[in-house]
């Protein structure tokens, strides 16, 4: 990608919906943090997913031993 490609993209981004612009900024910040060796910062959406998972666990919703073994087997074969 050339500098002109990047400038053209940024011009087009200005017409995107605000939510899409926010997502682009979040991704760009994540890339920049990784390039600079900074710690990973979870996005708002990721934090909401984590909170929902923690609430499920607190509510007693946990995977059975068989479900855990099946999940590990699935990812090991991938």
The pLDDT profile of the chain, 78 residues, written as one tens digit per residue, is: 899 999 999 999 999 999 999 999 988 988 898 888 877 778 899 999 999 999 999 999 988 899 999 989 988 876
Exposure on the CB side of residue 52, measured as CA atoms within 13 A: 6
pTM for this one?
A: 0.49
pLDDT for 78 equals 60
List the structure tokens of 31: 């890339």
List the structure tokens of 1: 């990608």
pLDDT for 40 equals 77
């Amino acid at each position: 990608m050339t500098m002109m490609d990047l400038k053209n993209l940024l011009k087009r981004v200005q017409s995107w919906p605000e939510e899409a612009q926010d997502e682009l900024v979040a991704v760009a910040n994540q890339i920049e943090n990784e390039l600079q060796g900074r710690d990973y910062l979870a996005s708002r959406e990721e934090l909401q997913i984590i909170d929902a998972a923690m609430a499920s666990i607190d509510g007693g919703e946990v995977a059975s031993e068989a479900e855990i073994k099946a999940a590990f087997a699935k990812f090991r074969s991938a």
